[in-house]
Structure 1
Amino acid sequence: KITPGHDFNDFEIGERFGLDKISIFDADARVDAAAFLARGESGEWIERYRGKDRFDARKLIVAELKENGFLEKTAIHKLAVGRCYRCQTVIEPYLTPQWFVDIKPLAELAMKVVHDGKIQIIPEGWSNSYFAWMENIKDWCISRQIWWGHQIPAWYCKRCDAANLIAGPGSDYLLTKDAMPIVGRQAPQQCPKCDGTELIQDPDVLDTWFSSGLWPFSTLGWPDSTDDLKTFYPTSTLVTGFDILFFWVARMIMMGLKFMGEVPFRDVYIHALVRDEQGQKMSKSKGNVIDPLDVMNQYGTDAFRFTLAAMAAMGRDIKLAEDRIAGYQNFVNKLWNASRFVQMNLSGASDARHDGYDVLFDNNFELADRWIRSRLASTIVEARKAIEAYRFNDYANVLYQFTWHEFCDWYIEMSKLALNGTVGDDPAKSRKFLSELLDQILLLLHPIMPFVTEEIWQAFGDTRKSIMVQKYPTAPSNWIDAGTETKMAFLMGVVRAIRNLRTEMNCPPGKEVKVICYGQSADLSFLSELRPYLRALARVGSAEFLSSGERPRGAATSVVGATEIYLPLDDLINLDEEQARLAKEVGKVEQELVRVQKKLGNGDFLSKAKEEVVEKEREKASQFEEKIRTLRSSLEKIREIQAGRS
């Protein structure tokens, strides 16, 4: 059977072959015989089915087939049917008069502006989806039979269209396909054909996406040529989801070109879809929806915003897990505590606040100051590049790395020596430098952490204007100092090496150690000048710097570049006791590893347990294996030290 009036695919077939579109239902899904009677058909069957509900009519058809011996069998057949999203009633395709837009000419212009680069879709791969939709576009049905929306600007004369206006319940009317509309921007006062004044407006409203497509300019005063329209159209960037690339973005482009003669925006950034931590799309039925309000109440809005930015890798969806949000909450706390440190050192000082950033532009700095300013400049450059390229995850991660791992972990600790006068001779200048540096960090972070940065910003001066009206940081090229960064990287490498040796040998954190370094004269001279930093950062009590000579026996050792580092630890730990402790710990971890490996070797466990549970056990096994390797490495070092004594 082919039913062009009640099936989308059959409608297309009917269009190709010129078939009649017969509607057998009325608006209440009851059998309507009008179409058959209009074709001159008659018979008892018409009366049998006329006015019957669709479900009752189907039962009658089965009964009639059976009665006449035409029914071979009945069987349940599953198929996809449309249902009302509210009451789940089955929807029947039903032909009614609608308003359409011949959209293909507009689509061709909209494709051209993307082809020509006047509009850039980011990531670029979504351009293919855009073109696929636009190249296969069909006439756009813009009328909807719903309560809310812009009412269609069309009117009908009750006198001229009396035969085409069918009275419905209340004051409603149904229109036939032969109704003749009077279209105008303003409501007409009378019928242009008969001068009648009894006019009714079309009850349909515009498709939501038609109204939304006008948004870029209709909100700015169009069709009037307002100052807002001249200033803000076209805008620079539209940020949206991939699921409305055709429904909304394409319509805005077509409408903008049609009514404004210009594209509505230059860039379209398609953001990621936020999924649960297993990568499943969130839905109420699955029970995996993460309510952003709950997350913000628990972890803070800035932590949530930073998490989404840090995970928004271009072209990949976000697998949102609460432990990631908790991790970035720690970052917010780290920034807050660092700011408290700066504020504490400014409190009560006559030079506490400043106007402008005069100290940052000075050139007479200690090593740590030159290094952090150079890193700040590089961070500003990288952050700006990331934002301009819509690489928001790179933007967030660059700022995270600089703020936590360079400013907080290293510079703040080193600045304490300048603030107390151990390094340098101008603590006041160091305070100003620290304050100006923090301001730059707050400005860099403000776009994705607006609340905490504003709070901290205002805490440093009651009369300061809001951080949101400040200029975004820029860095002079002469701030970047590759030589200083190389020197600092060497110092940090030495400090890390000493810290690692202390940890591996279970050296008490508060104990100062003796360090002996062998290497090139220039490197040793550099380290010798930085003894205060070695003492503060690695708890080095005494240090020797030798370019030659016999290496110490019975010492833990590490190498950084061309520099050998030795820590004689026999005066700090009891090697025999430490060897026994490590051996006991190895045995304990080995037992845990055997237990996990036994579980992973159990076929029933692997087949019945959830994949995430199995993966968690595998991670445990890897962690235990790594811990055993580390413990055995420490044991081997102790044996080497003991062997060196004998």
Structure 2
Amino acid sequence: HWIENLRDWCISRQLWWGHQIPIWYRKDDPDVMICYDKEGLPPEVEKEPNKWIQDEDVLDTWFSSALWPFSSLGWPKNTDDLKTFYPTSILITGHDILFFWVARMIMMGEYVMKDVPFHETFIHGLIYGKSYFKKDEDGSITYLPYEDKLKYDLGEKIPKGISSKWEKMSKSKGNVIDPLEIIEEYGTDAMRIALTSSATYARQIDLDRRKFDEFKNFANKLWNATRFIFQNLEKNEEKNLSALTKDSIEKGIDLETLSLEDKWILSRLNQTIKSEIDHLDNKHFDKAAILPYQFFWDDFCAYYLEMTKPYLFGRSKKELRENKQKILLFVLFSSIRLMHPIAPFITEEIFSIIKEKYPNLKPIENQDLYTKDFIETLSKKACIVSTYPKPISKIDEKAIEDFEFLKEALHLIRNIRSEMNIPLGQKTDLFVIFEKEKNLIDLLKENEHILTPLAKVENINYTSKEKDLPNGSIAICKSLKFLIPLPKDLIEKEIKRLEKEKIKLEAKIESSNKRLSNKTFLEKAPKDVVDSLKKSNDLDQNKLKEIDQKLKSYS
């Protein structure tokens, strides 16, 4: 639109800096002028410099900026960089300068280079900072100094009389976030992830300073997880555990001995890679920043890494230890490659450490695809010039479904322990009550090695006779019931807790029933409000039945 409907543009500005307009006037007759488009001075000016004066105005900032796509690559010389990188693939910029800059770069590119400077433009919102102010007696506003703003940004309670709002960054308002200060305090990678994760399609980006702290913690998590994995790739003479060697890596993963958690983490890795590529292709940079973060923290570290510890420490099936080591290494390696475009510094460092530890790996016949990918990528000089990950194998939906059931079971068991205030280090027995759910029971029995360490369970007992079980707290998972026997010293406390919760629920249900039996409410209230209340009431009644059942078991 703006390119096809151009209007006159005043390109001169009265500023102290900029490209001085290349026009010279004859002093004795200003109507005589020279427009010179070559380097240096016009020949006439060189010959008689005292008779000419150059225009004192400078070119508009956007005129100079419009030359950026090719002038930064060496133009007017036909440099190798200009040949290689013009036109660029995509321009990323704020929505406020779409006409001022983007349209004018296109115009200049077509005029000078006979081609547009980029084929795609990603438009993001403007970053807003939080400003804090107080009203003076005369009604004017005084903005707080940076030092006071900083402590409120980091979560300190804002006192009465002080207001805050998100505004465009301004030094006078004290809400400017200095990137150099952020890099110094939180690290470059943390800043990059925080900014990228904020780049939604919204016109306004409210940049919360605590985001930098969150991703600084993630960078630490990534580094510490890497250190842990490397420590457990080494030889442990005391426990008679061998190191993961170059030869053992080249042998590849033994796909025949993969456990459920192995199949799950490899499938989740492939899912994540596929989704990450989709996010990048569709310019969903906020999702692209968060997805590897969630996979690494929530799946890899919180579950898989914890599940491998008995094998790494030699406490469980030593013959599977080497396979676990390889999977840990390969998933870590793929994860840093996924994160690299957004967090290049820490990922490049980890890449170089892995490359130094396992140099000159060679592909051999019948290697699995994960090992081939690892060896081929590690042969590159650096992460930045290596290939971006691609899904390696078909996603095992059954493994993902089964593992999600185990995660739900773990979550419920941990909740029971938390509700009962059982100390973290204290192991308990677990009773699984079933009727005809043989497939779920078989799944639990096959994967007790997952439940026992992560849920702090000592013995798992399977039974269909609920009446004969000891007092305890119950949680329902699909059609199964999980019961953890209550230690005697906690029974009285548990009864009191349940009775208080029962009173609250009964009051809430009574209130909901009154509203739902009120014809006026049912006729006038929006349908979604009524449906939501009904759904909430049904859930509350189910909770009440569960509490009654628990109290009955203690009597």
- When the two structures are superposed, what TM-score results if normalisation uses the length of structure 2? 0.73
Query: Is the 1:295–1:304 contact (alpha carbons within 8 Å) kept by the matching residues of 2?
Result: yes
CA distance in 1 between counterparts of 2:166 and 2:53 reads: 52
Change over 3 Å in CA distance of 1:637–1:511 after alignment to 2: farther
Aligned to 2:300: 407
- The SS at the match of 2:424 is coil
| 2:437 counterpart of 1:568 | no
Deviations 1:141-174 (A, max 9, x none): 112333433332323334xxx243xxxxxxxxxx
Query: Alignment partner for residue 58 of structure 2, among 205, 209, 218?
Result: 205
Partner in structure 1 of residue 43 of structure 2: 189
User: What is the match of residue 516 of structure 1?
Assistant: 431
User: Aligned partners of 1:242, 1:150: CA distance in 2, in Å?
Assistant: 26
Counterparts of 1:354 and 1:247, CA distance in 2 = 59
Label 1:580 to 1:353 Cα distance change in 2 as closer, same or farther (>3 A).
farther
Tell me: CA distance 1:361–1:472, structure 2 relative to 1, closer, same or farther (3 Å): farther
The answer to whether 1:467 aligns with 2:376 is: no
For the residue of structure 2 that corresponds to 1:236, the secondary structure is strand
Equivalent runs, 1:128-527 vs 2, <5 Å: 135=5, 137-158=6-27, 162-164=28-30, 179-186=31-38, 187-190=41-44, 198-277=51-130, 278-348=165-235, 349-352=242-245, 359=252, 362=255, 364-419=257-312, 420=314, 422-423=316-317, 425-462=319-356, 465-478=381-394, 480-517=395-432, 518=434, 519-527=436-444
Equivalent residues in 2 for 1:47-58, closer than 5 Å: none
Contact 2:249 2:326 in 1 (8 A): no
**Distance change in 2, residues 1:274/1:360 (3 Å):** farther
Q: Is the 8 A contact 1:421 1:427 kept in 2?
A: no
* Of 301-310 and 370-379, the range deviating more from structure 2: 301-310
Q: What's the counterpart of residue 519 of structure 2?
A: none
Q: 1:553–1:641: 8 Å Cα contact kept in structure 2? A: no
SS of 1:462's equivalent in the other structure is helix
Counterpart residue identity of residue 182, structure 1 = I
Instruction: Output the CA distance in 1 between the equivalents of 2:550 and 2:497.
Output: 16
CA distance in 1, matches of 2:213, 2:225: 19
Larger Rg: 1
CA drift at 1:406: 0.4
Report % sequence identity. Answer: 40
- Residue of structure 1 equivalent to 2:531: none
Partner amino acid, structure 1, of 2:455:
A
Q: What corresponds to 1:127 in structure 2?
A: none
CA distance in 2, matches of 1:325, 1:636: 45
Question: Does the 8 Å contact 2:95/2:203 carry over to 1?
Answer: no
Structure 1 pair 282–211 and aligned structure 2 pair: CA distance change class (3 A): closer
Aligned to 1:564, the other structure's residue is in SS state strand
When normalised by structure 1's length, the TM-score is 0.63
Report deviation, 1:580.
Answer: 5.1
Shift of 1:453: 2.1
Task: Give CA-to-partner distance per residue, 1:539-594, whole Å, 9 cap, x none.
Answer: 1111122457757463322222222222222x46431144457889999x9xxxxx
Contact 1:305 1:449 in 2 (8 A): yes
Preserved CA contact (<8 Å) 2:498 2:547: no
- Residues 240 and 269, structure 1, Cα contact 8 Å, conserved in 2: yes
Unmatched segments (≥5 aa) in structure 1:
1-106, 112-134, 165-178, 590-628
**What corresponds to 2:452 in structure 1?**
535
**Larger RCO: Structure 1 or Structure 2 (Cα < 8 Å, ≥ 6 residues apart)?**
2
Q: Secondary structure at the match of 1:279?
A: strand
> Structure 1 272/386 Cα, relative in aligned 2: closer, same or farther at 3 Å?
same
- C-alpha distance 329-357 of structure 1, shift in aligned 2 (>3 A): farther
State the 1:198 CA deviation: 3.9
Contact 2:495 2:551 in 1 (8 A): no
Rounded Cα–Cα distance in structure 2 between residues aligned with 1:232 and 1:358: 41
Distance 1:294 1:468 in 2: 26
The residue matched to 1:238 in structure 2 has which SS? strand
Quote the Cα distance in structure 1 between the aligned partners of 2:171 and 2:51. 50
**Would you say the 8 A contact 2:234–2:244 is kept in 1?**
no
CA contact (8 A) 1:142 1:207 kept: yes
Question: CA offsets, 1:112-153, max 9 Å, x none?
Answer: xxxxxxxxxxxxxxxxxxxxxxx4x53111123334333323
SS in 1 for 2:414: helix
CA distance in 1, matches of 2:254, 2:26: 77
Query: What per-residue deviation string (whole Å, max 9, x for no partner) do you get for residues 240-282 of structure 1?
Result: 2222222211110001111222111011112222212442222
For the aligned residue pairs, the C-alpha RMSD in angstroms reads: 3.5
In structure 2, relative to structure 1, the CA distance for the partners of 1:329 and 1:535 (3 Å cut) is same
Task: Decide whether the 8 Å contact of 1:439 with 1:457 is kept in 2.
Answer: yes
Distance 2:317 2:294 in 1: 26
* Residues 1:644 and 2:553 are matched in the alignment: yes
Cα contact 1:240–1:270 (8 A) shared by 2: yes
SS at 2:119's partner residue? strand
Aligned pair count? 454
Q: Aligned in 2, Cα 1:232/1:316: closer, same or farther, shift over 3 Å? A: same
8 Å Cα contact 1:354/1:432 also seen in 2: no
- List per-residue Cα deviations over 1:278-313 (Å, max 9, x = no partner): 422222222222223333333222222212222222
1:94 is matched with which residue? Answer: none
CA distance in 2, matches of 1:337, 1:572: 40
